[in-house]
Homo-oligomer: A and B are copies of this chain.
Amino acid sequence: MSLFFRPLFEKESATYTYLLADLQTKEAVIIDPVDTTKQRDIALLEELGLDLNYIIETHIHADHITSSCPLKQKFTHAKIVIGAANATSCADILIKDGNTLNFGTHTITAIATPGHTIGCMSFVCGNKVFTGDALLIRSCGRCDFQGGSAETLFTSIKRLFTLPDTTYVYPAHDYNGRICSSIWEEKVFNTMIGGGVKKTEFVHRVNAMKLSLPAKIHVAVPANQVCGAKIIGE
């Protein structure tokens, strides 16, 4: 059966959550769910009679808190998936480059794309790639915390650029209301790496980003290291 696919937006942190499902087998996957929109996502899953196989985090987010743990409490078969290089105590599957996840007749393949953080993963499903904060629309993730490295990110994005040009790019964020792009567009038009920018220039551009720390970083990172579980005493 054709893939059921819904991008979903959380406006405070401009985060995209993605729901993928096989409506015949009712197996579903959610990528980068956010705590403040969990009721919307649960309602959609319940309405469609879906069960979650996997809750995937592209990385340990610094700008919002995941709803992985609350979703798993609701959908008890779900396995929380995160890149093996992350420091987490809560994931069921520590995924590595090349590993696959199945739901219904569909397969997701993990690609290690470190650089924004040390543990960033991208995920390919059919003609779509979910790039987290590695490759953004016309931009890329910052590299100044959580083991980030612009040199490493350059290699990761170049690897994403080996996907077919027609592959749709679905990032974890866009701050300008753009919802998707394509590998072709980013190869040509990305302002950080498009048009054949060399590694030294890319590293210079990334390191020249003057960004303040995400407002929630000191809350979000520890919370996301336990998959958004309520910490005792809170």
* A→B interface (CB under 8 Å): 6-11, 37, 40, 44, 47-48, 176-180, 185, 189
Q: Which B residues are CB-close (under 8 A) to A10?
A: 177
Contact, CB under 8 Å: B180 / A47? no
Query: Nearest CB to that of A10 among chain B residues?
Result: B177
CB A52 to nearest CB in B, in angstroms, measures 18
Contact, CB under 8 Å: A177 / B40? yes
CB A126 to nearest CB in B, in angstroms, measures 15
Query: Nearest CB to that of A2 among chain B residues?
Result: B166
Contact flag A178-B47 (CB < 8 Å), given A9-B9, A11-B11: no
CB A44 to nearest CB in B, in angstroms, measures 8
9 A-B pairs, CB-CB below 8 angstroms?
A6-B178, A8-B178, A8-B179, A9-B9, A10-B177, A11-B177, A37-B176, A40-B177, A47-B189
Q: Which B residues are CB-close (under 8 A) to A44?
A: 178
CA distance A95 to B40 in the complex (A): 37
Contact, CB under 8 Å: A179 / B9? yes
Contact, CB under 8 Å: B7 / A179? yes
Q: Which B residues are CB-close (under 8 A) to A177?
A: 8-11, 37, 40
Contact, CB under 8 Å: A176 / B6? no
